[in-house]
Structure 1
Amino acid sequence: MAQKTPFALSLSKGFSFLLGKGRKGLRQAQPERIGKVVGALLTIACVFAAAPAQAERVKDLGQFQGLRANQVIGYGIVVGLAGTGDDSLEYATQGMKGVTARFGLTLPPGVNPQLKNSAAVMITAELPPMAKPGQRLDVTVSALGKAKSLRGGTLIMTPLRGADGQIYAMAQGSLAVGGLGVDAQDGSKLSVNVPSAGRIPSGATIEQAVDTGFGTTPMLTFNLAEADLTTALRVAAAINANLGNGRARAVDAVSIAIDAPPGVETRTMLMSQIENLDVDPAQAPARVIVNARTGTVVINGAVRIRPAAVSHGKLTVRVDENPTIVQPAPFSRGRTALEPASDISVEEERNPMFQVRETASLADIVKTVNAIGASPADLVAILEALKQAGAMKAELVIL
């Protein structure tokens, strides 16, 4: 049975949640508090390390090939706006002429309607796997031009096409806009959220189903969400143990090929059985994730460090400006002057060198970096140096 591994999380304000002392760490903390906090940290780490991992269902590890969502898109016109539309943009005008032409109405040559109460929009939606004609979809409507707000508008019937150019759904309905925009006569503006985009719940009707082809393919293929050779082999072994030896085989780190008789109904039952099988996924590789923008550092429990010595110090240069006002002598032609006075001081914070023993655990790593008072930004530099020195065998990912 695989084991869960603990992880460490460091926020941009330092490690205060671990030791309650912020960036100063253990250096200025009371010895009794240090012992209690470090002891509690090690206890929590041991509890997580001893807790067995729960087996996961196959359906939570990936999906069958062909059962995926498909995006559709369309171009349409929203009408009924309260003067917040596109005005006289050319593509909005052409779109309105196309709409009116459907009903046999042809505008005179050279006449361009003023479209303050309408707007050109793009409609996007996502067809779920195995979607059938007659089912409803939620659609997102976004302004394409200068429309200030779509609040109160109604989308005119618009076809939604797939990547192959075919029509898969028809959209129409009243928009639900969460944003609000107000303009005053003096030019001031107030905007809440985004008033130029909205949604139509169940605003599209599916007209054509997407052929998945999984009922006629030579075999079923299950694809893992994350590539892992060990997990792929364990999924294939679980399928063979429950459905017959030799039924499934791992093609690569992502795909598991499964022999299945043809037929939609037969394969649907087989896929349902496979999805509900329990599998113990492989332990994640040693990895350190660093978000340089927020200062968040995540270390998983698989990270190990070889013998190494760590030292961390800070050099602070401080410049104080204390200008002095110099007054001229009475009845002289001199002028009041500002005499600069600068005071420069350099302070170097000295920290002792800490040794990290071999096979250091996650708790030892956290304890060490807190002991030298490292902030999240400093921790990134320390981890990079340990990796360059060959003392840390882990993937360092910087977001």
Structure 2
Amino acid sequence: MNPTPTDVTGPAVLWPWWSEGAVETVQWLLDEGDMAAASRDHPQIAECEQLAEDVLAPGRPVMMCDSGTGALETGYAALQLEPGSEVLVASHSFRATVTAMLPAGLVPVLCDADPDSGGIDLRDAATRLTRRTVALTITHTWGRPVPLTAARRFCDRHHLALLEDCSHAHGTAWRGRPVGAAGDVAVWSCGTWKMATGGKAGLLTCRDRAVWERAQVLAQPKHHALARVHDPQLRALAVTGAGHNRRPTPVGAVLVADHLRRLPHTLATKNERQADVEKLLANALPCLVPLPDPPGRSTGALYKWHWRNTSPHPVDTVIRILHAAGVRAARPSRPLHHTPLFTDPGLAASLRLPSIPPAAPDSFPGTDQLLKQLVEIDTRDMYEPLPDGDPDPYEHALAAAARELHALDRKD
């Protein structure tokens, strides 16, 4: 089932969708009624985990969880970081990357971003190290990989654990090295509109066998954990579990596996469509400049696209005009240092979460510079090539936006 994209000015066919075979398997699971997935090796989940290892994390076993956030929480807990310890993380990051550490009693310390690449600024992170710092979390936001060698060296130099959030970067590699390969723990979200999604699911890998076994006991049902765990104490805990249930559903496993199989097609299609749209953009709206390709990215595709507004008009005006012309444009999510969790220290205390130091609003100039004039394009209509001979709907939409901007120029 591969729907044909429609004109962006009309009701577009938007990702996600799944193959007819995946839909039939889901229907069969519903008819069978086996939604518990509590057995030692549930076939659909085992198949998805093996596919994820082959496609995303060669050489590392993969555990499937109920969500990306659940995988993150499990990873933070499995690292056995002391409650009250500090974790360095970019302010330019998805919120769950940070909030998932709070149940483990960890304190997020926000760091600035590189205004050109969007990745965490490790020079700024070095200035925020304290004797309580125990880990660095990097997020390959929007599919723009953080340099893996630099992140690993930083952690080794300062004796820190490294967690990689690869939730926007399915199939991405940095200088030929898959994202996730550098981290002590790496996770992928497979929820919402990710490039491999089951509606709600997550994947986790670990560098160290002991961390991996702890993750099994923290996240998986009894029979599944006992089949994978060798440590006697952890096996004893696996009999009851440790208070968490991150078990995925077989339906989610079938849907994620379907997208992992087509991932090479997805990446190639998105890259081809991006190149075509950027050519149209250069002709119609040269005042919108695409962010440069991420340094070192050797494979993968961007999860979302970002264009920098260089026109004299406010970025919100440009977005309004693009949206009216049919382009799925918006502002990026605000950085974490502008969210209430970090501006009002009393909020976390109301849920007995770790005390979070308030973020000084002017101490993240790189992040603010990165996001200030940025237009975000939702790429959910970019997962199939255009039918042969069909005009690119973005040509019409961008031309319409250009006319509106020129009319605005004349009024000014």
TM-score, scaled relative to structure 1: 0.18
Higher relative contact order (CA 8 A, sep 6+): 2
Give the structure with higher Rg (CA): 1
In proportion to residue count, which structure has more helix? 2
TM-score, scaled relative to structure 2: 0.17
